[in-house]
Structure 1
């Protein structure tokens, strides 16, 4: 393989266009998972402006780019999927039928190991290193919102009926319910970030927005708008006030759901669920094929989904002491986390403990 490695900002306009073209043809080429916005050049460039060690390997055949591999590299050669921890789709974007040797690619990138937690399907050279696969629920709206809503009524009649009833009650109690699919007011983004930070703290989770690079990344992507990629802030209003909002990424026919939150003062109306139904309607109207809700077994995702994609976690390694040390350190942590998530009785206990810690932290 002819492999060259660049910082994201060093990619030529021609290379970025070739990368985007591979994504735009992904559906017709039979690899829709490669159209995900987390695999777009714009996402790689944005992360590169926020984090050190971001690189893109470009594989060429007869001088033409045929594959793009974004990653992050530590000084010791430990590689991670780009944006690991906040990216919901990872892998190598390539032309149909392209095959690669994972260890040869790692060697060219100066990596002893490459760790991933949302590897998309169809990445066979990397899948050999997967330690587990997990469902990533999606909402299909390619046939239109009415078709989706009809399927939802059949699949989850009580959930659908209750959610629509709460939307009507929200309008009666607070004023006209209004949905904005593409809100451009930065103040509303700041409101969403405030809600999400409070939710993380309230539930005992680590506040992602306490990390400056994540806040910077989201702000950048909010202002990124192009023909093939853009940040999308969707907001549910009741009267004149926002009650729920979501920030995600749109790339062609895929809307990747990312940061949803709502004002807890209006929790009894389930504004987050109402928002997701409106998002599905708005996405269908703008030509989106599906909304990717992201990996995770959560009640609201299970109620809204039409099917699931599969993503994997694990690592690809070369024979190197750094790779062995990294895996030895990370494997027990992952195994413990996945055991808790897979067993409801353990998850419920852990969730209750985290929430108690969150209440203590808020009180102090």
Structure 2
């Protein structure tokens, strides 16, 4: 008679994974995003739907479920010529392009996804995205394990402000900074009554977005560029943000600090609040008030309010580092653009093109990109004052 097996003698099988690919955006996206890292919970159905509405494209979504619960969702849209069979992640470049994975997802989830992706496309573009992004890191490990070619190009350095660390070292903002700000506010008030306010959640409506667009249309971006990079105008990316705000969860994350002078929209700072992290996405001001540093006055007010709301870190993204370093920001993770090329002859071809893809980006030790130089030149009047004041603090 055989002896009964002890519990510890059983080998526990890994949880069953199932992969599905649907036409359009999957409802599973929100289920994954809700349990993603707090910094990535904006990667919702409404986020990707806004991207499709604003920029076009027809999506498919590959989902991976573990014992019936979705743990990863990868929406994809065709990119480039049809014959190339390239796909990309829809959405918006600010703060970055990625896809949601649950915090407890492991590399096996992406390993299960990759064979289905290989049937859909020769290559997938992920990014621009930060080094250390949860979905990216799982994708890199799984792709290497299965013989995919990985191509990356450097886009820019990011900058981050650790408010908690700054406050641990002493009073922040410094009293001298606040004193200078009050001086500028007094002189700015000579132009009319100043109204400082915040917009979030249910406050997002057509009038709120129109106010942001009005400021951009007065700013350097309209005067010095073709306006295509503006975030809120009809010729820029306004359609995306208006569509994103239709998701009440996203609307609750979207945040704007506003300055009106005699009721006229005059400056804004626009962010996404993701838990204790604030993504600083865009700011602009009416150059008629430039000598009084309205941008500086507004973002300091915004950061003081952020502290009250429990924000401990600010991700300033890429671009001119001048004013960011003045307020204490330091270099953060690099931002890169990735191509993942499926195994076989496509991966071999991808490896041959790795150098060419890398050269389309920036040198990590090179000078500032042309775009950052243009922005710096356009803003140098206001920024130069802010830098001098920061040096005095």
Give TM-score scaled by structure 1 length: 0.73
2:85 to 77, 81, 85: 77
Deviation at 1:262, TM superposition (A): 0.9
Q: Paired residue for 2:174?
A: 153
Q: Paired residue for 1:130?
A: 152
Instruction: Provide the rounded CA distance (Å) in 2 between the counterparts of 1:348 and 1:207.
Output: 13
2:240 to 214, 217, 220: 217
SS of the aligned residue for 2:338 comes to strand
SS of the aligned residue for 1:226 comes to helix
Larger Rg: 2
2:223 to 202, 208, 215: 202
Instruction: For structure 2, list consecutive stretches of 5 or more residues without a partner in the other structure.
Output: 1-16, 141-149, 379-393
Structure 1's 126 and 17: CA in aligned 2 closer, same or farther, altered over 3 A?
A: closer
- 8 Å Cα contact 2:71/2:109 also seen in 1: no
Q: Paired residue for 1:6?
A: 22
Instruction: Provide the rounded CA distance (Å) in 2 between the counterparts of 1:133 and 1:352.
Output: 16
Q: Paired residue for 1:139?
A: 161
Matches within 5 A, 1:219-298: 219-226=242-249, 229-298=252-321
Q: Paired residue for 2:183?
A: 165
Structure 1's 227 and 201: CA in aligned 2 closer, same or farther, altered over 3 A?
A: closer
Instruction: Provide the rounded CA distance (Å) in 2 between the counterparts of 1:88 and 1:315.
Output: 15
Structure 1's 100 and 184: CA in aligned 2 closer, same or farther, altered over 3 A?
A: same
SS of the aligned residue for 1:256 comes to strand
- 8 Å Cα contact 1:171/1:177 also seen in 2: no
Instruction: Provide the rounded CA distance (Å) in 1 between the counterparts of 2:345 and 2:182.
Output: 57
- 8 Å Cα contact 1:72/1:82 also seen in 2: yes
Q: CA RMSD in A?
A: 4.1
Q: Deviations over 1:224-249 (max 9, x none)?
A: 32389543232123343322013333
Q: Paired residue for 2:44?
A: 40
Q: Deviations over 1:59-99 (max 9, x none)?
A: 11122212222333345531223235444252442332511
Structure 1's 267 and 353: CA in aligned 2 closer, same or farther, altered over 3 A?
A: closer
Instruction: Provide the rounded CA distance (Å) in 2 between the counterparts of 1:172 and 1:213.
Output: 33
Give TM-score scaled by structure 2 length: 0.69
Instruction: Provide the rounded CA distance (Å) in 2 between the counterparts of 1:216 and 1:194.
Output: 15
Q: Paired residue for 1:61?
A: 66
Instruction: Provide the rounded CA distance (Å) in 2 between the counterparts of 1:173 and 1:149.
Output: 35
- 8 Å Cα contact 1:103/1:318 also seen in 2: no
Instruction: Provide the rounded CA distance (Å) in 2 between the counterparts of 1:171 and 1:327.
Output: 60
Instruction: Provide the rounded CA distance (Å) in 2 between the counterparts of 1:250 and 1:5.
Output: 31
Instruction: For structure 1, list consecutive stretches of 5 or more residues without a partner in the other structure.
Output: 27-31, 356-364
- 8 Å Cα contact 2:270/2:282 also seen in 1: yes
Deviation at 1:49, TM superposition (A): 3.4
For the pair 1:335 / 2:327, whether they are aligned, the reply is no
SS of the aligned residue for 1:69 comes to strand
Q: Paired residue for 2:107?
A: 99
2:31 to 13, 18, 36: 18
Structure 1's 181 and 201: CA in aligned 2 closer, same or farther, altered over 3 A?
A: closer
Matches within 5 A, 1:345-356: 347=370, 351=374
- 8 Å Cα contact 2:29/2:100 also seen in 1: no
Structure 1's 164 and 185: CA in aligned 2 closer, same or farther, altered over 3 A?
A: farther
2:128 to 99, 117, 131: 117
Structure 1's 295 and 40: CA in aligned 2 closer, same or farther, altered over 3 A?
A: farther
